[in-house]
């Protein structure tokens, strides 16, 4: 492990440990999204090493879902950042989809200190928990996930990507600006502008000039929560800063069009966006190439 990667390892000595609300991942789907739809994709674990792991962080450890090919080394790494519903079955399945393609995919539970949203039925109460999560904590936990991946000895952590959905789409943009080692990102309908607060001091439009890698934004033209005008605003900032990131708008797609377990799922847009994301990762040096 090189010195840059070692620097990401969290220092746990002489730090007061706190009680984490989430110490293990939820089984199945979050209560707030039930019942799941008939189109729900279920990716098996054949040929994979997949399951829950613990990631050391500065004040303890957080659970995460990790999936990778059962054999091979030099795996590219993709961080999978959860929706507002936490690391439930859909996010785990996305990790397995990447693993089937040769990636080491890892999704840390980023609300572990604030609440277990998987057991909350009302979406508004889920949002109340999410609003307590500081961006700084999230970025630090993602750094820890990168360090965890590097420590396995199975990956090439220089081939590093990040992708996220909804809440995680916004975080994808922020993390690409935070970590200069990110080569590629995929931001699925993440909010781009917003009011600054102590927990969320900046938004993607604010940090766009700091992005070192290339992010592909995947947005729905019928998204009621993310106006197309804000997408155009982000495009202008990216262009002005000379960043190679791009944004695709699926004109007829709503928010959550990739979420195959929800009514918002739009198979054609979701499948097209997925293929474009894989091509984007390959183009920017995070290819699905494994050595024995």
Lowest mean pLDDT among 2-16, 42-56, 58-72: 2-16
For residue range 179-233, what is the model confidence (pLDDT) as tens digits? Answer: 999 999 999 999 999 999 999 999 999 999 999 899 999 999 999 999 999 999 9
Domain 3-283 of CATH type 3.40.50.1820: yes
Percent pLDDT > 90 in the chain is 91
Which pLDDT does position 201 carry in this prediction?
98
C-alpha 47/C-alpha 62 separation (Å) is 26
Token pair recorded at residue 102: 């040769």
C-alpha 55/C-alpha 195 separation (Å) is 31
Give the active site residue among 88, 255, 258, 284: 255
Q: Which of 179, 100, 185 is nearest to 147 (CA)?
A: 179
Classify strands 184-188 and 155-165 as parallel, antiparallel or unpaired: parallel
Which pLDDT does position 289 carry in this prediction?
60
Domain ranges of the chain: 3-283
Confidence class of residue 3 from pLDDT cuts 50, 70 and 90?
very low
Do residues 96 and 181 lie in contact, with contact meaning Cβ atoms separated by under 8 Å? no
Supply the mean pLDDT for the chain: 92
Tell me the mean pLDDT in the region 245-264: 98
Q: Is 166 one of the annotated active-site residues of the chain? A: yes
For residue range 91-100, what is the model confidence (pLDDT) as tens digits? Answer: 999 999 999 9
Tell me the mean pLDDT in the region 106-128: 96
Give the active site residue among 93, 135, 141, 166: 166
Classify strands 48-57 and 60-69 as parallel, antiparallel or unpaired: antiparallel
The pTM of this model reads: 0.92
Give the active site residue among 93, 116, 141, 223: 223
Which pLDDT does position 216 carry in this prediction?
98
Tell me the mean pLDDT in the region 39-64: 97
């Amino acid at each position: 492990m090189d010195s840059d990667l070692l620097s990401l390892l969290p220092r746990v000595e002489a730090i007061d440990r706190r009680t984490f609300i989430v110490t293990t991942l939820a089984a199945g789907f979050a209560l707030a999204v039930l019942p799941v739809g008939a189109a729900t994709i279920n990716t098996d674990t054949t040929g994979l090493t997949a399951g829950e792991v613990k990631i050391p962080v500065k004040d303890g450890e957080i659970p995460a879902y990790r999936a990778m090919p059962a054999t091979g080394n030099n795996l590219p790494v993709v961080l999978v950042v959860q929706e507002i519903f936490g690391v439930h079955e859909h996010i785990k399945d996305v990790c397995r989809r990447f693993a089937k393609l040769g990636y080491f995919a890892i999704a840390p539970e980023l609300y572990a200190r604030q609440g277990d949203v998987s057991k909350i039925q009302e979406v508004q109460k889920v949002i109340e928990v999410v609003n307590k999560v500081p961006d700084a904590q999230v970025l630090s936990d993602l750094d820890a996930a990168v360090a965890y991946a590097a420590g396995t000895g199975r990956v090439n952590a220089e081939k590093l990507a990040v992708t996220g959905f909804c809440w995680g789409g916004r975080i994808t943009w922020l993390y690409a600006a935070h970590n200069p080692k990110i080569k590629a990102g995929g931001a699925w309908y993440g909010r781009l502008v917003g009011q600054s607060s102590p927990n969320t001091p900046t938004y993607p439009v604010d940090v766009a000039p700091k992005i070192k890698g290339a992010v592909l934004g995947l947005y729905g033209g019928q998204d009621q929560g993310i106006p197309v005008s804000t997408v155009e605003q982000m495009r202008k900032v990216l262009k002005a800063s000379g960043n190679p990131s791009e944004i695709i708008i699926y004109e007829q797609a709503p928010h959550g069009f990739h979420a195959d377990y929800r009514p918002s799922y739009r198979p054609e847009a979701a499948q097209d966006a997925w293929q474009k994301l894989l091509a984007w990762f390959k183009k920017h040096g995070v290819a699905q190439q494994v050595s024995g």
